[in-house]
């Protein structure tokens, strides 16, 4: 922690003078999550908080699609992305033209896109969702079948939670697709009384052997509320580090798989972004209004 302290101090000072807010996803490294973030959470919480902020500058300590979402909801504000190369395998898996083709094939099916997509893809969809509200969003549409894109595994998990017929795509999260049921069985053999909680971006056969599945925020709530003596968190491993101190009654067992995109964000890059007010995320005005509508419709669900 000592090597981080000078950066943390400078960032927190500069943040005030810039009237900036730092949003950090649950997968950020602990020195960012605990050291400089003003708002932490899952993709849904970050989108909602981005819509509410009164700061002039938003720094996204997350990945590019999260910064784009913040910019969509705050077109007049400066949105900084400390490393523009922090992408996401799900966002890479689908293009706007793919959605236009799917609409021709399934004209009766509304298109729900995961927030883990580009603004251009959001602009082609009816509504967005996150893993925290996907079932609610799908059911809010009153349709018999829904295209749930691009995460195949999230779509399959949603299908187990609703009577709506779910059509999917073949996108995967490069972190969660690596977990296997065998690995979970090995952990269960090695640790007595192990509660396994998994993210719905995991393959269905992994979720099938877990005790609970939910978004990162729901996984955190599970540990906070149920206080299991021992838990295995099947998700990006920084999340376990971030919540360990707040859950002293729970032993957190975890295999460590990191998201290489999230880990591109570092304290020195956040400091540089605040000093230079660069790099800024912009959204093409030709798509921004339609993409914003899809995100705002999602935020309105459940209100």
Based on the shown chain and the rule CB under 6 A, indicate whether residue 88 belongs to the binding site for ligand SF4: yes
CB 151 within 8 A of CB 90: yes
173 is in an annotated binding site: yes
The sign of the CA dihedral 94, 23, 257, 244 is: negative
- Determine how β-strand 212-213 pairs with β-strand 195-198: parallel
- 148 marked as binding residue: no
Torsion over CA: 248, 253, 256, 259 (sign): negative
Burial class, 37, CB count within 10 angstroms (exposed 0-12 / middle 13-18 / buried 19+): buried
Which region, judged by CB under 6 A, interacts with ligand SF4, from 31-39, 167-175, 208-216, 294-302? 167-175
- Least distance to ligand 13P, CB of residue 90, Å: 8
Q: Is 176 annotated as a binding residue?
A: no
Q: Binding of ligand SF4 at residue 173 (CB under 6 A)? A: yes
Burial of 155 (0-12, 13-18, 19+ CB in 10 A): buried
d(CA 12, CA 199): 32
Nearer CB in complex with ligand SF4: 32/175? 175
# residues contacting ligand 13P (CB under 6 A):
13
- In the complex, minimum distance from the CB of residue 209 to ligand 13P, in angstroms, rounded to a whole number: 20
In the complex with ligand 13P, which residue's Cβ is closer, 42 or 124?
42
Three-class SS state of 238: helix
Q: How far apart are CA 242 and CA 258, in angstroms?
A: 13
CB of 234 to ligand SF4, least distance (A): 12
261 binding ligand SF4? (CB under 6 A): yes
Which listed option, ligand SF4, ligand 13P, none, makes contact with residue 206 (CB within 5 to 8 Å by class)?
A: none
Strand, helix or coil for residue 32: helix
> What are the Cα distances from residue 239, in Å, to 48, 54, 89, 143, 253?
20, 27, 19, 35, 12
From residue 236 to residue 255, what is the string marking binding to ligand SF4 with x (rule CB under 6 A)? x-------------------
Residue 115 known to bind ligand: yes
Q: Which of 8, 11, 26, 82 contacts ligand 13P by CB under 6 A? A: 26
The annotation status of 129 as a binding-site residue, yes or no, is: no
| Residue 68 vs 201, nearer CB to ligand SF4 | 201
3-state secondary structure of 157: helix
Q: Which residues bind ligand SF4 (CB under 6 A)?
A: 63, 88-90, 116, 173-175, 201, 236, 259, 261-262
Going by the annotation, the residues of the binding site are: 25, 43, 88, 114-116, 131, 173, 199-201, 216, 259
């Amino acid at each position: 922690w000592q090597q981080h302290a000078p950066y943390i101090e400078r960032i927190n000072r500069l943040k005030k003078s810039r009237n900036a807010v730092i949003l950090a996803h649950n997968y950020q490294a602990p020195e960012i999550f605990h050291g400089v973030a003003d708002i932490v959470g899952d993709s849904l919480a970050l989108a909602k908080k981005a819509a509410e902020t009164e700061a002039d500058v938003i720094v996204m300590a997350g990945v590019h699609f999260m910064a784009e979402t913040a910019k969509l909801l705050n077109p007049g504000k400066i949105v900084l992305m400390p490393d523009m190369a922090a992408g996401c395998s799900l966002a890479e898996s689908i293009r706007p033209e793919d959605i236009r083709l799917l609409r021709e094939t399934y004209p009766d099916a509304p298109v729900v896109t995961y927030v883990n997509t580009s603004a251009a893809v959001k602009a082609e969809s009816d509504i967005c969702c996150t893993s925290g509200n996907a079932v609610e969003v799908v059911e809010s549409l009153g349709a018999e079948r829904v295209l749930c894109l691009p995460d195949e595994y999230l779509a399959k998990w949603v299908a187990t939670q609703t009577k709506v017929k779910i059509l999917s795509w073949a996108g995967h999260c490069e972190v969660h697709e690596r977990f296997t049921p065998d690995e979970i069985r090995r952990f269960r053999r090695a640790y007595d009384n192990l509660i396994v909680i998994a993210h719905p971006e995991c393959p269905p056969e992994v979720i099938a052997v877990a005790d609970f599945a939910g978004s990162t925020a729901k996984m955190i709530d599970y540990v906070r509320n149920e206080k299991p003596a021992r838990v295995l968190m099947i998700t990006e491993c920084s999340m376990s580090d971030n919540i360990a101190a707040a859950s002293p009654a729970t032993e957190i067992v975890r295999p460590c798989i990191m998201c290489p995109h999230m880990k591109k964000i570092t304290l020195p890059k956040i400091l540089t972004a605040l000093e230079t007010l660069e790099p800024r995320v912009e959204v093409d005005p030709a798509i921004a209004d339609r993409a914003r509508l899809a995100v705002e419709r999602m935020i309105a669900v459940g209100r």
